[in-house]
Structure 1
Amino acid sequence: METDTWWIRYLDSARVQFLIALVVLLLLYPFLGQSRSLLGGMPLGLGVLAAGYSFYKVYPYNPFWPEEAMEVAACPEGSRVRILVANVQKTNEQAQELLDIVRSTHPDLFLVLKTDQWWDERLRQLSDQFSHQVQHIP
């Protein structure tokens, strides 16, 4: 089941999972019967350092951190970049529909994935619209 609930999405991060595991282990450490010597306290010290570093790396992504992106009502026309990405798949042969979409949207950057020689031949029709092209079929 997919969800966009913030605390569930936040737990998707491996760093957060690692931090939670470290905190649980640090809380359980006194009950594990380890010796109180300097060497016995070394895992505790390393665990605290690792948890601190993990917290330092994760903290900027929590909901309480101020957003750093500028908020604008609308982007000025001259500052906009229009990007169109098409995953066409080799078995798809509906090139005209894609060509119509490209011609109607006028993207600044057009990226086509999973093409083959057949698609390259059809996409050459767009060479007048895109002066810089890179075509590579692995």
Structure 2
Amino acid sequence: MLRYTLWARTRNNPSDIFVLYTAYSFFIKVCYCLQKKSKKWKVAASLRSETVFHFSSLTKQEYENPFMVFQKAFAEKTLEDFELFLYQMLELSLSPHAGDPYFDLTTPYIHFIRMLDAAELIRERGVEKIKKENQITCVTE
């Protein structure tokens, strides 16, 4: 599916694939940084109560805390694995021959889709800084 989408998009202008590759690569690097920020930030609570998840690729716990998606993805695959995945997709998209990939493309692809869903949840809800238990909050009038 991704191969066909990239091929159809780049058929008229093959240089578009490099723009897409750059955007995906930047997104993965941001996700890598977000997994480390999960100790300082939390996703704001959803204003709506949904029985059916808006993003079906996420579990209920991941829907509640989308940072878990990034932690799971980078616990299983390294940043270099995701970069190799993008490179393989670039190679397969631009190659005139359909060849067998030398790399597992399925696992990083699933993580990538889940990270896109988690990032959209974070964008929709926003984030809040986690307050320390000993911190005193002053309210002035």
Relative contact order, CA 8 A, sep 6+: which one is greater? 2
Do the structures match in fold with TM over 0.5? no
Bigger radius of gyration: 1
Q: TM-score, normalised on structure 1? A: 0.27
Give the structure with the larger helix fraction: 2
Q: TM-score, normalised by structure 2?
A: 0.27
